[in-house]
């Protein structure tokens, strides 16, 4: 274990060439075994990450538990000041984090990686300014009733590989500002940025407040079953979310589950569809489609469907798939071989069934990286796998519909209910459609508007609870009612 230098903004720049280590109780902890992290642009070894053991996880939970007392007793403003220091420290290491994110996740450095890291830092800074004031809910001659929000304890955070920085810090900021402490377990596919932002945290936060333990899925299981964990904040697949929920029952943990999605985008007959195409393209294909809220089914009114598909294909045709470190790259590789293999299978299903593919369709397996071409499938049946499943890759079905009742029924015919969007000139008509979608978020004539004050979460099998907004902050607390006799 290495003791870190005392906190101070001048000492917040870390050494990105140093070996990776777990962050436990304010210290960097090296492990006796490591696991390989590959660069998805060439499948070569990028780095070795520490393989945390159950004992490391136990030590991290114990540290977070010990730190909880003093952290939760700090004044809100004091915690806000720490978070603001953390945002500054992240900012001081921003360029290295952006490059590392591209190397481990694949997304283009000049666009999405920069946006992800800058967006995450902004989130930490802004969340530090939010509060959960005491609410007086009743006053009579006899008494006053107040509702206070109290921290839960130690929160276990489990994150996926598609947005490791953003989704990670999205959990850290509201968790810490509300007075909880945290142990985070990143995806084994993308642990590196998380280990580094954990390391940065040790420079500015008190020991034990934020710990990071990388390793296999079993560490996630250990967190979900652990009696000293008060809440699990999980982002990942619906299948794993169900396991997390079952395992968390042991001590009735609070849960926020941000799970899979199969978002529908509905382009109505009167939409200004030429201007909609770039927005929908980037929403669907940004991060190479590895996005929970990517539109994954695009429904276009039959009166404009043929023209729309043609123009969409034209817009998509010249987008460059390649190594995210190259400034010319628009879309990076698929993050890992497991997901790449799933896409090979899905592409094979599209081919086998003879669906119309006006763009892409063939994955060149001879390439060293996990590169998958932008692929559009024209009007496959609703029962097809490409419509029913969450592909999590750069492939999009564009479906045709005739009337609003029909498209609403088809959009809602999914176990998922994360997001959706409706596009049309008649704003009221578009809003009427939006109201009928069974999803946690619906965007009308815009897409992916997210914000520190905007609650975000899924309906149906897309999740439980929300992140962000007042509601998202409140989910890191218990409601505590006081009644005071006068």
Cα distance between residue 441 and residue 293, in whole Å: 9
Does position 236 bind ligand NAD by CB under 6 A?
A: yes
The residues, any chain, with a CB within 8 Å of residue 36's CB and separated by 6 or more, are: 45, 48, 49
Residues 16-35 that bind ligand NAD (CB under 6 A): none
Query: Is residue 220 near ligand NAD by the rule CB under 6 A?
Result: yes
Specify the pairing of strand 395-401 against strand 375-378: parallel
Contact flag: residue 240 with ligand NAD (CB under 6 A): yes
Catalytic hit among 116, 199, 258, 390:
258
Q: How many other CB atoms sit within 10 Å of the CB of residue 82? A: 21
Q: Is 258 a catalytic residue?
A: yes
Kindly state the smallest distance separating residue 237's Cβ from ligand NAD, in Å.
Answer: 3
Question: Which helix (DSSP H) or strand (DSSP E) does residue 364 occupy?
Answer: none
Annotation says 193 is catalytic: no
By CB under 6 A, tell whether 174 contacts ligand NAD. Answer: no
- State which of residues 235, 287, 439, 445 lies at the interface with ligand NAD (CB under 6 A): 235
Pairing type for strands 375-378 and 420-423 reads unpaired
Give the one residue of 153, 160, 208, 393 binding ligand NAD; rule: CB under 6 A: 160
Cβ-count burial of 109 within 10 angstroms (0-12 exposed, 13-18 middle, 19+ buried)? buried
Contact set for ligand NAD, span 382-421 (CB under 6 A): 390, 392, 418
Provide, rounded to whole angstroms, the least separation between the CB of residue 77 and ligand NAD: 30
Residues 427-466 that bind ligand NAD (CB under 6 A): 458, 463
217 in contact with ligand NAD (CB under 6 A): yes
Interior/surface letters 31-63, b for 16+ CB within 10 angstroms, e for the rest: beebbebbbbbebeebbebbbbbeebbebbbbb
Q: In whole angstroms, give the CA distance from residue 287 to residue 109.
A: 11
Which position's Cβ is nearest ligand NAD?
220
Which residue shows structure tokens 């101070």?
Answer: 8
Instruction: Please pick, from the candidates 7, 34, 84, 237, the single residue that binds ligand NAD as defined by CB under 6 A.
Output: 237
Q: Which is nearer to ligand NAD, 85 or 390 (CB)?
A: 390
SS3 470: helix
Choices 85-93, 155-163, 195-203, 361-369 (CB under 6 A): range interacting with ligand NAD = 155-163
Count CB neighbours of 300 within 10 A: 28
In the block, which residue shows the tokens 């000293």?
228
Cα 393 from chain centroid (whole Å): 15
Stretch that binds ligand NAD, among 83-91, 239-247, 266-274, 345-353 (CB under 6 A): 239-247
Q: What is the DSSP letter of 44?
A: E
What are the residues binding ligand NAD (CB under 6 A)?
158-162, 167, 185, 187-188, 217, 220-221, 224, 235-237, 240, 243-244, 258-261, 292, 390, 392, 418, 458, 463
Which amino acids are annotated catalytic?
Answer: 258, 292
């Amino acid at each position: 274990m290495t003791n870190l230098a005392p906190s101070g903004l001048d000492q917040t720049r870390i050494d990105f060439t140093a070996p990776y280590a777990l962050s436990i109780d304010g210290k960097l902890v090296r492990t006796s075994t490591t696991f390989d992290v590959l660069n998805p642009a060439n499948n070569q070894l990028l780095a070795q990450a520490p393989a945390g053991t159950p004992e490391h996880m136990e030590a991290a939970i114990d540290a977070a538990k010990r730190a909880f007392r003093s952290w939760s007793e700090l004044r809100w403003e004091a915690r806000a000041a720490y978070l603001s220091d953390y945002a500054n420290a992240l900012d001081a290491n921003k360029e290295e984090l952006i490059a590392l994110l591209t190397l481990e996740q694949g997304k283009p450095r000049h666009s999405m990686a920069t946006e992800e890291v800058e967006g995450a830092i902004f989130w930490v800074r802004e969340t530090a300014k939010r509060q959960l004031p005491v609410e007086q809910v009743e006053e009579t001659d006899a008494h006053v009733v107040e509702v206070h929000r109290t921290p839960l304890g130690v929160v276990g955070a489990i994150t996926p590989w598609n947005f490791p920085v953003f989704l990670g810090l999205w959990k850290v900021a509201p968790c810490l500002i509300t007075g909880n402490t945290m142990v985070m377990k990143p995806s084994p596919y993308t642990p590196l940025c998380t280990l580094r932002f954990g390391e940065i945290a040790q420079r500015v936060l008190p020991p034990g407040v934020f710990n990071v333990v990388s390793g296999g899925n079993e560490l996630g299981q250990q967190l979900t079953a652990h009696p000293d964990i008060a809440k699990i904040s999980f982002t990942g697949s619906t299948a794993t979310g169900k396991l997390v929920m079952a395992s968390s029952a042991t001590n009735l943990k609070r849960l926020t589950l941000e799970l899979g999605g199969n978002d529908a985008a509905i382009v109505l007959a009167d939409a200004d569809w030429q201007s909609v195409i770039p927005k929908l393209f980037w929403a669907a294909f940004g991060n190479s489609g590895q996005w929970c809220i990517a539109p994954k089914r695009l429904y276009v009114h039959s009166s404009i469907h043929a023209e729309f598909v043609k123009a969409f294909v034209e817009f998509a045709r010249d987008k460059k798939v390649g190594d995210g470190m190259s400034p010319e790259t628009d879309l990076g590789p698929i993050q890992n071989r497991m997901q790449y293999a799933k896409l090979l299978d899905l592409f094979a299903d599209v081919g086998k069934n003879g669906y119309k593919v006006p763009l892409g369709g063939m994955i060149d397996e001879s390439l060293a990286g996990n590169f998958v071409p932008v692929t559009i499938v024209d009007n496959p049946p609703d029962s097809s796998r490409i419509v029913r499943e969450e592909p999590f890759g750069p492939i999009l079905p564009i479906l045709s519909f005739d009337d609003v009742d029909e498209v609403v029924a088809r959009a809602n015919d999914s176990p998922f209910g994360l997001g959706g969007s409706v596009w049309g000139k008649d704003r009221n008509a578009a809003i009427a459609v939006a109201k009928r979608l069974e999803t946690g978020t619906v965007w009308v004539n815009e897409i992916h508007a997210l914000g520190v004050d905007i609650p975000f979460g899924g309906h149906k099998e897309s999740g439980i609870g929300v992140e962000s907004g007042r509601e998202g902050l409140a989910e890191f607390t218990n409601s505590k009612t006081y009644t005071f006799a006068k």
